[in-house]
Structure 1
Amino acid sequence: MSNERKLMHIVMFPWLAFGHMIPFLNLSKLIARKGHRISFISTPRNIDRLPPPPPALSHLLNYVKIPLPGHDVVPDFPINAEATSDVPYDKVVYLKLAYDALQQPLTQFLRQTSPDWIFFDFASYWLPSVASELGIPSAYFSIFTASVLGFSGSVQVLKGDDSEKQPRKTLEDYTVKPEWVPFETSVCFKIYEITKIADSVITSPENTVSDIFRMGSSIQGCDIVAVRSCWEFEPEWLKLLEQDLYRKPVIPVGQLPTVEEEEEAADESKNTVWRGYKEWLDKQGKGSVVYVAFGSEAKPSQSELTEIALGLEQSGLPFFWALKLKRGDWDTETIGLPEGFVERTKDRGVICTSWAPQLKILSHDSVGGFLTHSGWSSVVESIQFQRPLIMLTFLADQGLNARLLEEKKIGYPIPRDESDGSFTRDSVADSLRMVILQEEGKIYRDKVKEMNGIFCDGGRQDFYVENLLAFLQSYSRN
């Protein structure tokens, strides 16, 4: 049997966002542990910010740096920006243009190395045709859940083919269950969520390509779709994708929880920072601390920041807040905490505006809940350490994730105005206390423990990786 298992060379090419790069990297490590060779491609600064390959995998997991083009190619692109976390939301369009300009050097790399497969992200919609010309099978690897893909629709819907028959003609059409979903679900956007992202996801600035067109072209051109999901969590959505919407192989790869062992760091400065935070966490009561983090991309408005801060204060709970006040040097929108907030809460709160070791914090016994944007990597990490979710969405797929989590009683959304998404300090404080302390919130505390066995069981995750590899090896022999 062992002679039949071909060892493969697989190229990974994620979009330039850490919420995408980290799942790609986690899958890369799991595949490399099976003896296969991985070339993980990104830009120099992003690779320098990723954890180094574990020593045991260093001969199999190879980082490949391809620089972004200069201002002669994308004149308006911010200097030294290589990830979505480096730029304000309205500048991400230039990052996509710079990413598109990686087509030529990536093609050259593929031609020189002739890998067995390439796994790519939604943004590189041009890659399937490149891979096909070179005779390389391609997999669109979706870090979005099966429910997000299912809600988004078929290739025809995503690309706007035959626009006269398009089922979605207004933003309100995104706030209801799609006609092609045959089962009951609450997964849809709120009007304030889809309004905020419509200019990049649905439409796009002149001479650029929308996100849904990129996704539709990626799905249309790839050989298979790999999804960060599992049958135990989203069976009906996975079945919908493969049998009805895509009509091609759809393979769940598991939830890909991050394994921290090798990321214990060599960086002594980070260890020192963590020791200080741990001392503070050690002094707090078990399950009492709110961990607050909204990912590398989301940035609250000033009014939102004020209500979050005053809600934390009003809750009376201790908190650790990983707070991002600025997205890169080009972010000119200044926001700040309410006057006197830091002084008033200094005895029960930590505000971290630099690096925060999220896995270590969530793993600490004092943490009782996670106030989150509902980005899926943060969701998986919260479930990994059995911390119930209190949800406050901002961008991208977060609203759809939040509906799914609410539907399954894994997370509780902070009540907001249905039209503009505004919320109050009272709703923040009441939501935190309910989920972390009160009997009413016990369902969320219990459910996240139940989900831990589905999301984070090592044997189950290994099954999904083995299943994926068996398919890739079988397909490449055809």
Structure 2
Amino acid sequence: MANDEKKLHIAMFPWLAFGHMIPYLELAKLIASKGHLISFISTPRNIDRLPKIPPTLASLINFVKLPLPHVQNLPDNAEATSDVPLNLVPFLKRSYDALQDSVTRFLEDSHPDWLLHDFCPYWLPPIARKLGIPSAFFSIVSAAALCFLGTKAYFGERKSPEDFTVPPRWVPFPTTVAFRLFEVFKIFGQGITGVEDDVSDVYRFVDVLQGCDIVAVRGCVEFEPEWLRLLEDLNGKPVLPVGQLPTTAFDSEDDTDTWRWMKAWLDLQSKGSVVYVAFGSEALPSQTELTEIALGLEQSKLPFFWVLRTRKGPADTELIELPEGFEERTKERGVVCTSWAPQLKILAHESVGGFLTHSGWSSVVESLQFERPLILLTFYADQGINAKVLDEKKIGYLIPRKEQDGSFTRDSVAESLRLVTVEEEGKAYRDKAKEMKGLFGDRDSQDRYVNSFLGYLKTHLQSQKVE
């Protein structure tokens, strides 16, 4: 009984991307709501930009601000991937790696019961082991994406971009899940082979998978049972799904003011008619892509609400612009919002009938918890794998693109939007989105996953003491 009542101290160290920090914070809130203590480690500016937590959890979530060491070529105040264009992300990784000493000191001083870390700090599992702290790699990417990467035993086996466009030989069941060629081209250097002295993302992943004690995955058995089993078989260690972590919002007064005018516009639209367009904090279309998306939206004749980012931080010199006259021509049926928007509230509104998204998993979860069908346009990283998983299960529709360069047309955008949102042929996608609500938005199911995860963490600690 005493074991069940033990309150844990869990340290969390996510990668410096909001697509990673937010799911870590969601899990932190769920764990803290059970009375456990969280030390959430990140940089000062990132912590200040995180969503506010409920006052009831304030005493249980301790935000640990570690100043980000300066490295050459990284702009001042750049502390997250959303602050820099893609070509500067390697410098952000170098800066993150330079946090090694300060993270180690924190762990030595506080000695948490468990450490949950991301894919990036490949140097951290050996440090945790030396300090006697069990570590879990908490992956915000799916089990399918982790399986696709493989393990250290397979590292370097795939040498050409084309090798990544077919399912890996270690996947024993039939699947179509693989990258498309243009998606591999975008990540082949930084992500797969590494550039100059930089450690590649794939190496970080497989090294962390090998070094950690257990793997915690954002996901659920009901959605990807075969991938979760394979991940455990490949790595020879426990793989624990923690649920899909649907986002929970804590409103501030500023958010309410912003939402007021947006809701007023959405209220005027017919039920299920609006296309919501947003590509997260990381993905940014090129000027050519932006033009085709805009003209495709216009051509679709559907009402739309577009949250548009035109640059990634002050260091981004490639400002993208809407086609001339677009806003004027579509002002009667569309909104282009270039500031922050409450995505959860927009998706929850009954006028929204489809979501044009980059396939980032947080956006997928938010969409499906409100039964919104997905139109998929990938840009980077694991988005290509996510999109193929959704496509294979007929949960999302991939906008047709050229395999070699990923180009697409305004016609294909317009046709895809209409198909998924309003046309009879796309009803299967709308029905499937409704069916998914139970997996992606059920709070009781989410609670069971967190309880099961915490039960494992406690049992592991107890067994260590017995030994």
SS at match of 2:215: strand
Distance 1:64 1:214 in 2: 24
Length-normalised TM-score, structure 1: 0.96
1:264 corresponds to which of 251, 261, 275:
251
Alignment of 1:358-437 (within 5 A): 358-437=343-422
Q: Do the aligned residues in 2 keep the contact of 1:138 with 1:222 (CA within 8 Å)?
A: yes
Distance 1:172 1:226 in 2: 30
Distance 2:386 2:366 in 1: 14
Alignment of 1:14-413 (within 5 A): 14-70=14-70, 74-158=71-155, 160=156, 166=157, 168-243=158-233, 245-260=234-249, 263-265=250-252, 268-413=253-398
Distance 1:173 1:86 in 2: 32
Q: Which amino acid aligns with 2:186?
A: K
Q: Which amino acid aligns with 2:419?
A: M
Q: Do the aligned residues in 1 keep the contact of 2:151 with 2:210 (CA within 8 Å)?
A: no
SS at match of 2:318: coil
When structure 1 is superposed on structure 2, of 8-17 and 270-279 the one drifting more is: 270-279
Q: Do the aligned residues in 1 keep the contact of 2:149 with 2:206 (CA within 8 Å)?
A: no
Distance 1:273 1:170 in 2: 47
Deviations 1:276-331 (A, max 9, x none): 11111111111111000011111111110000000000000110101011000110
Distance 1:63 1:304 in 2: 39
Distance 1:172 1:51 in 2: 40
Per the TM alignment, residue 55 of structure 1 is displaced from its structure 2 partner at its CA by 1.0
Deviations 1:416-435 (A, max 9, x none): 11221110000000010111
Deviations 1:227-269 (A, max 9, x none): 01111011011111112x1001111111000122xx111xx33
Per the TM alignment, residue 270 of structure 1 is displaced from its structure 2 partner at its CA by 2.7
Q: Do the aligned residues in 2 keep the contact of 1:7 with 1:35 (CA within 8 Å)?
A: yes
Q: Do the aligned residues in 2 keep the contact of 1:156 with 1:216 (CA within 8 Å)?
A: no
Distance 1:205 1:146 in 2: 26
Q: Which amino acid aligns with 1:213?
A: Y
Q: Do the aligned residues in 1 keep the contact of 2:69 with 2:98 (CA within 8 Å)?
A: yes
Q: Do the aligned residues in 2 keep the contact of 1:286 with 1:368 (CA within 8 Å)?
A: yes
SS at match of 2:168: coil
Q: Do the aligned residues in 1 keep the contact of 2:178 with 2:385 (CA within 8 Å)?
A: yes
Per the TM alignment, residue 95 of structure 1 is displaced from its structure 2 partner at its CA by 0.4
Per the TM alignment, residue 347 of structure 1 is displaced from its structure 2 partner at its CA by 1.1
Per the TM alignment, residue 2 of structure 1 is displaced from its structure 2 partner at its CA by 5.2
Per the TM alignment, residue 462 of structure 1 is displaced from its structure 2 partner at its CA by 1.2
Gaps of 5+ in 1: 161-165
Q: Which amino acid aligns with 1:192?
A: F
Q: Do the aligned residues in 1 keep the contact of 2:135 with 2:212 (CA within 8 Å)?
A: yes
Distance 1:359 1:408 in 2: 24
Distance 1:269 1:213 in 2: 42
Aligned length: 463
Distance 2:262 2:444 in 1: 33
Q: Do the aligned residues in 1 keep the contact of 2:294 with 2:322 (CA within 8 Å)?
A: yes
Per the TM alignment, residue 476 of structure 1 is displaced from its structure 2 partner at its CA by 1.1
SS at match of 1:115: coil
Gaps of 5+ in 2: none
SS at match of 1:202: helix
Distance 1:344 1:4 in 2: 62
Deviations 1:26-52 (A, max 9, x none): 111111111110001111111111122
Per the TM alignment, residue 177 of structure 1 is displaced from its structure 2 partner at its CA by 1.1
Distance 1:77 1:98 in 2: 8
SS at match of 2:193: coil
Q: Do the aligned residues in 2 keep the contact of 1:155 with 1:246 (CA within 8 Å)?
A: no
Per the TM alignment, residue 156 of structure 1 is displaced from its structure 2 partner at its CA by 2.1
Per the TM alignment, residue 374 of structure 1 is displaced from its structure 2 partner at its CA by 0.2
Q: Do the aligned residues in 2 keep the contact of 1:189 with 1:400 (CA within 8 Å)?
A: yes
Q: Share of identical aligned residues, percent?
A: 65
Distance 2:306 2:393 in 1: 26
Q: Which amino acid aligns with 1:201?
A: G
